[in-house]
Amino acid sequence: MEHEDPLNGDSTHRTCKKPKFSSKFISESEIRDEFSHHQPRVARINNGSYGSCPSSVLAAQRQWQLQFLRQPDAFYFNTLRNGITESRKIIKDLINAEQVEEVSLVDNATTAAAIVLQQIGRRFAEGKFQKNDAILVLHCAFLAVKKAIQAYVTRAGGSVIEVRLPFPVNSEEEIISEFQNSIEKGKSNGRKIRLAIIDHITSMPSVVIPVRELVRICRLEGIEQVFVDGAHAIGSVKVDVKEVGADFYVSNLHKWFFCPPSVAFLYCKSNVSSDVHHPIVSHEYGNGLPVESAWIGNRDYSSQLVVPAVLEFVNRFEGGIDGIMKRNHDEVVKMGKMLAESWGTNLGAPPKMCAAMMMVALPSRLCVNSEEDAVRLRSHLRDYYEVEVPILYQVLKDGEKGVRDKDGLITGYARISHQVYNTLEDYEKFRDAINRLVEDGKNCQMLWVE
């Protein structure tokens, strides 16, 4: 059944029973209510890591959970699969996929990476790929993805080409040319590149990558499969899988699309090999990835079932998800600039290469000189200033001059996020915390943590 315009309501969805006559947009106080379960005093400017979920969606989730507990057999036989199919259809439309068969729901991008890489690993094991055939990945790819490469590709005899993108970065051209160079170097000794993994929005440091262009380059260079890791994408940038043109595309719905933990979609273009399987094998093995993924043993599938309720939620905002994306972007840019100005530092990327997250350089006087320093600073900010924000330690590449502020070399960046629940005070709190640390002459090595 196609999903109706949620403003007209859809009585088959067991979502919260809000009155359907209202076409007013959600108000500020309603937004506060929806996120009233967030810890009040914390400046929560890290939506990127774990996302957020409004109360009305949590309530819808709870209804699904109780329905299962009430009579699980009836739920399993009569309700579950239809509910998952419903969610998949909504996502298919959101991402402009051709067919719902191309859309599978999995726990998270980490699971999707295992699925894609396991099939690569099998091809090495079964002799379809030669030893030393390569896969290509960004140097700053999410650590879990790199570990999955180790587990499934390196272990099976494949080699890895890492593309080191510049950061701070000034333009998309810098990324494109570095990517192109890496492919040429990678192929230079006659190696075949079997898979390219490209982040749509890198995690740390966070930059929006020109994926469409990079996928095009991959095709020109004869790279067989392209997997776009869009963990942060849906709900923060436009996701059009036909435009992007990759074979596989994953995005988490619990980061920027208001789903509870956890649910992600994995798009697999229809002409891609059917030898893609969920690694947790159950009754539906061989019936196609979407069907396999819809039953991987007894567990709580409720987060996959609330997508209709989430759509209702986002459509209470002016412009729906597009409006939310635009306002998040505008605000995070504004806040980033405010912080950089106050601290006398810079932004890590130009606004057009940011979505709802931004890298803001920290004053060099804080002396973020290692990963440990970055972790210390983050913990200190959490424990003593009630600010939640991830910190990056940015190593300089050989030969790079680096960026400086008035006191020295910049090596630390904060990744700030903006989501609908954030307020100006959150960023002012962060601004003031850093200024205070600098005024007090504190650097990372001196910081207490709990």
Q: Give residues 180-209 in contact with another protein (rule: CB under 8 A).
A: none
Size of the site for another protein (CB under 8 A): 64
**Closest residue by Cα to residue 179 from 241, 223, 149, 145:** 223
Choose one: 8-16, 39-47, 356-364, 433-441; the region binding another protein (CB under 8 A). Answer: 39-47
Residue with tokens 């943590």: 449
Give the residue, chosen from 73, 398, 425, 440, that forms a contact with another protein under the rule CB under 8 A. Answer: 73
Stretch that binds another protein, among 165-173, 217-225, 241-249, 292-300 (CB under 8 A): 292-300
Label each residue of the chain as H, E or C: CCCCCHHHCCCCCCCCCCCCCCCCCCCHHHHHHHCCCCCCCCEECCHHHHCCCCHHHHHHHHHHHHHHHHCHHHHHHHHHHHHHHHHHHHHHHHHCCCCHHHEEEECCHHHHHHHHHHHHHHHHHCCCCCCCCEEEEECCCCHHHHHHHHHHHHCCCCEEEEECCCCCCCCHHHHHHHHHHHHHHHHCCCCCEEEEEEECECCCCCCECCHHHHHHHHHHCCCCEEEEECCCCECCECCCHHHHCCCEEEEEHHHHCCCCCCCEEEEECCCCCCCCCCCCCCCCCCCCHHHHHCCCCCCCCHHHHCHHHHHHHHCCCCCHHHHHHHHHHHHHHHHHHHHHHHHCCCECCCHHHCCCEEEEECCHHHCCCCHHHHHHHHHHHHHHHCEECCEEECCCCCCCCCCECCCCECCEEEEEECCCCCCHHHHHHHHHHHHHHHHCCCCHHHCCCC
Q: Least CB distance from residue 11 to another protein, whole Å?
A: 21
Nearer residue to another protein within complex by CB, 7 or 281? 281
State the nearest-atom distance from the C-beta of 40 to another protein, in Å.
Answer: 9
Is 256 strand, coil or helix?
Answer: helix
Which of these segments, 111-119, 237-245, 393-401, 438-446, binds another protein (CB under 8 A)? 111-119
Q: In what order do the strands lie in the sheet with 357-361?
A: 357-361, 412-417, 391-393
140 belongs to the binding site for another protein (CB under 8 A):
no
The answer to whether residue 74 forms part of the interface with another protein (CB under 8 A) is: yes
Near another protein by CB under 8 A, which window of 31-39, 86-94, 207-215, 239-247? 31-39
Shortest Cβ distance from residue 447 to another protein (Å)?
Answer: 15
Q: Whose Cβ is closer to another protein: residue 52's or residue 443's?
A: 52
Q: Which stretch binds another protein (CB under 8 A): 159-167, 173-181, 290-298, 393-401?
A: 290-298
Smallest distance, Å, CB 376 to another protein? 12
Question: What track of x and - describes contact with another protein for positions 360 through 399 (by CB under 8 A)?
Answer: -------------------x--x-----x-----------
CB 356 within 8 A of CB 47: yes
Site for another protein in 237-266 (CB under 8 A): 252, 254, 260-262
Rounded to the nearest whole angstrom, what is the least distance from the CB of residue 392 to another protein in the complex?
Answer: 15
Complex with another protein: residue 119 or 345, whichever CB lies closer: 119
Applying CB under 8 A, among 129, 152, 258, 430 the residue interacting with another protein is: 152
Q: Which of 15, 56, 63, 110 binds another protein (CB under 8 A)?
A: 110
Interface with another protein, residue 82, by CB under 8 A: no
Shortest separation between residue 62's beta carbon and another protein, angstroms = 8
Q: Quick one: which of 12, 282, 404, 436 contacts another protein (CB under 8 A)?
A: 282
Residue numbers of the site for another protein (CB under 8 A)?
37-39, 42, 44, 46, 49-53, 58, 62, 66, 68-74, 76-77, 107-111, 113-114, 117-118, 125, 143-144, 147-148, 150-152, 155-156, 252, 254, 260-262, 277, 279-283, 285-286, 296-300, 303, 379, 382, 388
